[in-house]
Amino acid sequence: MKPVEDLISRFVEDPGAATPEELDALIDALEQEPAMVVRLREQLMLDDLLAQKLTVDRRYFMAQVEQRIADYERGQQEIDGHVSDLRALAEAEIERPARRGPPLWMNLLMVAAAVALVAGVFLAPNLLSQGRAVARVEAIEGEAQTVVGQSVHPLAVGEVLKTHQHVTVAEGGSVTIVYADKTRVELAGGTNLVVGGDPLTGAKALTVTQGELFADVAKQIAGPMRFNTPHAVATVLGTQLRITVEAQATRLDVTEGLVEFASKDGSATVRVAANETGEVRDNAMLPTRLLEWPDNRDSVVFLFEGSDKLTLARNPSSGNFRDTPLEEVAGASLAANVHLQLSGGQFVTEDGGNEVTQLCQRTSQFSLETILTPERTRIGGSIVALAFANGRGNFELAQENDRLVFRLQTDGTMGKTETLNLGEIAADAQTHVVVTYRGGSLCGYIDGKQVARRDDVHGGLGNWQEGRLAIGGDSVGGHRWRGQVAGVAVYDRAIEADEVARNVRNYRSVHAVAAREPQWKSLMAEGGPEAYSLAGNWTAADYSWQSEGTGERLLLRPAASGALEKNYDIRTELYVVQSGGEPIELLLPVGSQHVAAVLQPSGSRSTANGLDLIDLVPASDNGSGLVGRQLELQRIYTIDCQVRVSGEQASVLVLVDREPWVEWTGPRASLSLRTERKDWAEDAPVLNVGNNRVQIHSVKVRSQP
Amino acid sequence: MRGIRIVSDEFGTDAGRRPAGEEPVEFEDIVRETSPHIRAYIAGMGVPRHDVDDVAQDVYVELYRFFDRVPADVPMKQWLKGIARNLCLNYFRRTSRRSRLQREALVELLLRAESECTIATAEGPIRRALDTCFEKLPQESRKLLSLKYEQELPSQTIAERLSSTSEAIRVALFRVRNALKDCISRRLASESPA
């Protein structure tokens, strides 16, 4: 490389770092060889184009321009507002001399007002001390007090709250109040509040002097509900919001609907829409921004927030995020709802794990936050692990039957693994788990509430080893777990209780649409096969239910929640141990009709899959399924079945490992199984494994609206 | 772009630039189509990578503010380059005096070379050309670029990882960028109307 090329390559590496001497040398060289100027320019441009393409922080240029334009517009609006205020003042000054005195009707009105004022002076204190009943205390956790007039007493569940009544919630506690129209307000620990309301219109109002509240406001008839703070006024035009009041600022997070948010002095007003945050700080209205999970990403070192977004790890050298794709290991897949689906497989990242380790070592503290849905409770497995295997390593969040545990090693634990018991966990229920550690304090939170704490775990994280960050198993591929993981965030800081609560709320708000999706009900979540067996001998092993090949049948209806709707889905993981020659059937109600989806295992006499019967024609001849396919022995298949009914039309779809094996749409009256199978009269789906020996590794159902 | 839509009277009255009945020009489209080039253009004047996007955002805010002043007969990209040039000079004026004089001299040199720089004068979709050319790179080159730009590692750290020297890494990067430049120039030339 020529000296001038070396100068160019050094300059391109970091143009801002060039010393005056290096710049002089470069300019001299370029003046002597003008052709090299073109070279330099091209290298600089290519360098930037590559950075635009590959560097994570540079991929959001459009959004940054949008923000800058919005800031500019906001600044313009403020200027316009001041100008119109000044204009209004000037106009008032111009008009004033023209007024000679009030007209007669106004004089009469003033007399009436004076009488009312005199009456008010005498009557109002009495009325104020009594207040007007507006709400009721529904729940209290920890301690809370209330002040009415001069009287202070502990708040009680069921107590009626009146206007002008003060409520104080102790740190670590919470209070839920409800109004008659089901408007619900949850007060976090450390909140001071005065109950209010408009005496004329009955419109609700609360004044928050400190702390945090979350409100789910029903549609208001008397006028919008107002939340007053020392810095701002939030006027609720929609339904869900959270207000956080600190010494210098009030923050408003809107999760549903629309809220008008004004600074206390009235100088600025914005409308904060769903999934947006507004903030008044030091009497200035800050730009609104989108609600995010996690709320504060400054100390996030690893983040998975759904497969539709980049998985990020923080680069220890630059401090910036970079894309860190998760590697799928057998049996792991991405669910339709962008979550990680763990069915005996796992997702791992080696680089991400190493970087998390390095960054947490520097601060000697960390937090793990994850949103998970266990498939069942009679199971064990490692949910999130960092360089952890065989009971030892950096950390592990694990399920042990119906309990969650967290394991950790620090350089103060003398090589011993410390355990934090996080309590019980339910199958098929999404759970938000947070564990935080800072020397001397290991805390666990479930759904935003602290459930466990140990103050006897000490030491830094200097002994942490580099290794994989694994989801759905431990860091060497063992101890596999079953369920779904919707999000994972690791921080190099122990986040505080209020931030945990905020993150839970933000996550629920941001993912509200996903949360409204129909939920699967796992039949294996709590009970054994006996609760569902219609025929034959089913036995429960550690992770599966097994048939003996004597005509076993299972009723696919959740024991607790009753019947399925007319539209429903079935998902099962099936392993054929030994074929007996008969087909495996899903006997399906389709509206008031019935049909059997037939799947042929290896060794069966037929190779025709499909629906029995359509217009009395069997699966082998009615073209509803694939011909020539059979379920291989000793292999786990995921079988999905969807039944839909719309008026007189219906459809049935059966997917085997996501590939359609049975597909039919037509008039449901043509489904004629019942005329042949008069013995079968169930109104719920049935799995009939015939004379095959099978293992069922999972089976779940859900209704579709 | 959410909430921002500019319908320019300038464009609307200029039949030579936009036929009657055609959709109005959106600010978002202009940003999307021109920003890869304008950002690289700013970097090509020696603005450090971490400040390039700040300067580029200023360029688009200026465009937004004075959109009605864009002359009808000047192509948008050329207008934006003019704004970028001025903002880059402002950027360097904020640095210390000695450094400022050097930077201004360097910008002067770089601007003089503009007409010979195929990438700087390209009119075609430069980002798409880069994406295509990037796919054609050998695996080793892509790995090197990943370490440099995706993981943002300095040459010294890359050298340690690959058991090499920082100088050799800089040379290798120089050559990979050169190969990409040649490929992009060829593609843009083949796509441009004769």
For the stretch A240-259, pLDDT in tens is: 788 888 888 898 888 778 88
Find the distance separating the first CA and the last CA of chain A, reported in whole Å: 69
Please report the pLDDT score of residue A598 as a whole number.
94
Nearest to A317 among B42, B116, B157 (CB): B157
Report, as an integer, the average pLDDT of A455-472.
Answer: 93
Whether the per-residue pLDDT at A102 is higher than 50: the answer is no
Q: Would you place residue A158 in the very low, low, confident or very high pLDDT band (cuts 50, 70, 90)?
A: confident
- Of the listed ranges A20-34, A75-89, A258-272, A651-665, the least confidently predicted one is A75-89
- Residue A313 makes CB contacts below 8 A (sequence gap 6+) with A301, A302, A303, A321, A322, A324, A349, A351, A352, A355, A356
Tokens read off for A376: 């069942």
Tell me the chain B residues in contact with residue A49 when contact means C-beta distances shorter than 8 Å: 36, 40, 126-127, 130
Does A55 contact B152 at a Cβ distance shorter than 8 Å?
Answer: yes
Helix axes B49-65, B76-93, angle to 10 degrees: 120
Does A16 contact B51 at a Cβ distance shorter than 8 Å?
Answer: yes
Helix axes B166-191, B126-136, angle to 10 degrees: 120
Please report the pLDDT score of residue A512 as a whole number.
61
Please report the pLDDT score of residue A678 as a whole number.
60
How far is A290 from A278, CA to CA, in rounded Å?
9
Whether the per-residue pLDDT at A62 is higher than 60: the answer is yes
Does A322 contact B152 at a Cβ distance shorter than 8 Å?
Answer: yes
pLDDT, averaged across chain B: 79
For A32, the closest chain B residue by CA position comes to B109
Give the bridge partners for A612, in sequence order.
A596
Report, as an integer, the average pLDDT of A97-107.
Answer: 40
CB atoms within 10 A of CB A616: 12
> What angle (nearest 5°) sits at the alpha carbon of residue A390, between those of residues A392 and A348?
90
DSSP structural state of residue A528? -
Task: Render pLDDT for B60-74 as a digit per residue (tens, 0 to 9).
Answer: 999 988 887 888 888
Report, as an integer, the average pLDDT of A641-664.
Answer: 90
Percentage of chain A with pLDDT > 70? 87
Q: Would you place residue A680 in the very low, low, confident or very high pLDDT band (cuts 50, 70, 90)?
A: low
Cis check: omega of the bond before A294, within 30 degrees of 0: yes
- Of the listed ranges A608-622, A624-638, A667-681, B118-132, the least confidently predicted one is A667-681
Tokens read off for A237: 């035009």
CB atoms within 10 A of CB A87: 10
Task: Render pLDDT for A343-395 as a digit per residue (tens, 0 to 9).
Answer: 888 999 999 999 999 999 999 999 999 999 998 877 889 999 999 998 899 99
Report, as an integer, the average pLDDT of A293-312.
Answer: 90
Whether the per-residue pLDDT at A320 is higher than 90: the answer is no
**Of residues A654, A531, A666, A528, the one with CA closest to residue A583:** A654
B102 in A contact zone (CB under 8 Å) = yes
Please report the pLDDT score of residue B22 as a whole number.
40
Please report the pLDDT score of residue A630 as a whole number.
92
Whether the per-residue pLDDT at A686 is higher than 70: the answer is yes
Whether the per-residue pLDDT at A577 is higher than 60: the answer is yes
Does A69 contact B4 at a Cβ distance shorter than 8 Å?
Answer: yes
Please report the pLDDT score of residue A439 as a whole number.
85
Please report the pLDDT score of residue A97 as a whole number.
37
* Cβ–Cβ under 8 Å, residues A324 and A311: yes
Q: Give the 3-state secondary structure of residue B43.
A: helix
Percentage of chain A with pLDDT > 90? 34
Does A49 contact B40 at a Cβ distance shorter than 8 Å?
Answer: yes
Q: Give the 3-state secondary structure of residue A193.
A: strand
B36 in A contact zone (CB under 8 Å) = yes
- Of the listed ranges A328-337, A528-537, A576-585, B59-68, the least confidently predicted one is A328-337
Tell me the chain B residues in contact with residue A53 when contact means C-beta distances shorter than 8 Å: 127, 130-131, 134, 149
Tell me the chain B residues in contact with residue A323 when contact means C-beta distances shorter than 8 Å: 150
Torsion of CA A388, A392, A397, A403, to 10 degrees: 150
* Cβ–Cβ under 8 Å, residues B34 and B80: yes
Whether the per-residue pLDDT at A411 is higher than 70: the answer is yes
Report, as an integer, the average pLDDT of A144-159.
Answer: 83
Task: Render pLDDT for B14-59 as a digit per residue (tens, 0 to 9).
Answer: 322 333 334 336 788 888 889 999 999 999 999 988 889 999 999 9
Whether the per-residue pLDDT at B97 is higher than 70: the answer is no
Question: How far are the Cα atoms of A105, A573, A600, A665, B186 from residue A597, in angstroms, in the given order?
Answer: 84, 16, 10, 13, 58
For A355, the closest chain B residue by CA position comes to B151
Task: Render pLDDT for A113-151 as a digit per residue (tens, 0 to 9).
Answer: 444 444 444 334 444 445 678 889 999 988 899 876 667
Please report the pLDDT score of residue A344 as a whole number.
80
Report, as an integer, the average pLDDT of A459-472.
Answer: 94
Q: Would you place residue A561 in the very low, low, confident or very high pLDDT band (cuts 50, 70, 90)?
A: low
pLDDT, averaged across chain A: 83
Please report the pLDDT score of residue A519 as a whole number.
73
- Residue A49 makes CB contacts below 8 A (sequence gap 6+) with B36, B40, B126, B127, B130
Task: Render pLDDT for A581-635 as a digit per residue (tens, 0 to 9).
Answer: 999 999 999 988 889 999 999 988 888 999 988 888 888 888 899 888 899 988 8
DSSP structural state of residue A286? E
**Of residues A310, A401, A303, A388, the one with CA closest to residue A352:** A303
**Of residues B108, B122, B117, B40, the one with CA closest to residue A35:** B117
For B178, the closest chain A residue by CA position comes to A43
B107 in A contact zone (CB under 8 Å) = no
Task: Render pLDDT for B177-191 as a digit per residue (tens, 0 to 9).
Answer: 999 999 998 888 876
Tell me the chain B residues in contact with residue A38 when contact means C-beta distances shorter than 8 Å: 113, 116-117
Higher-pLDDT residue of A517 and A403 is A403
The residues in B 115-134 lying below 8 A from A, measured between CB atoms, are 116-120, 126-127, 130-131, 134
- Name the percent of chain B in helix, strand, coil, to the closest 5: 70, 0, 30
